[in-house]
Amino acid sequence: MERLAQRLKGVSDPTRLRIIRLLDHGELCVCDLMAGLDLPQSTVSRHMAFLKNADWVSSQRKGKWVYYTLMIPNEEIQALVLQILRQNLPAMQEARQDYARLIHHLETKTTDACATPSK
């Protein structure tokens, strides 16, 4: 019960919901999330640590950057919550604006910025 409560707390914050929407694009670096959210690194990293501890994201370090991906839910309730979020977040204005900023950032970032691994 405690673990489920922690997972639900993970998605009980507007910024973390925005992050989940962006990570639906695929693996993203902290610098990509910063650009999409228009937030400083410290804020993004704090939210990412919360999401990671709540089993919503996994991370891997590549050089000086950390890359994040949404985890495949390992519980039915978590899978249902993620499905509901995926259906509803794209319709929310703030999430659409974040996603547009992310796409613009990914299309225009320089080669000396963190490099997103090929898929």
Q: Is residue 117 part of a domain?
A: no
Q: Is residue 119 part of a domain?
A: no
**Degrees (nearest 5) of the Cα angle 94, 98, 99?**
115
Q: What CATH code is carried by the domain that includes residue 70? A: 1.10.10.10
Q: Is residue 60 part of a domain?
A: yes
DSSP secondary structure, 39-85, as one string: --HHHHHHHHHHHHHTTSEEEEEETTEEEEEEPPPSSHHHHHHHHHH
Distances (CA, A) of 66 to 6, 62, 76: 23, 6, 28
**pLDDT, tens digit, for every residue of 37-61?**
999 999 999 999 999 999 999 999 9
Q: Is residue 118 part of a domain?
A: no
Q: How many domains does the chain have?
A: 1
Q: What is the pLDDT of residue 112?
A: 65
Expressed as residue numbers, the domain containing 81 is: 2-104
Distances (CA, A) of 50 to 45, 91, 112: 9, 24, 29
Q: Residue 56 contacts by C-beta under 8 Å, 6 or more apart in sequence?
A: 7, 10, 11, 16, 20, 70, 71
Provide the token pair at 43: 């804020």
Q: Is residue 50 part of a domain?
A: yes
Q: What is the mean pLDDT of residues 7-29?
A: 96
What percent of the chain has a predicted confidence (pLDDT) above 70?
93
Q: Is residue 77 part of a domain?
A: yes
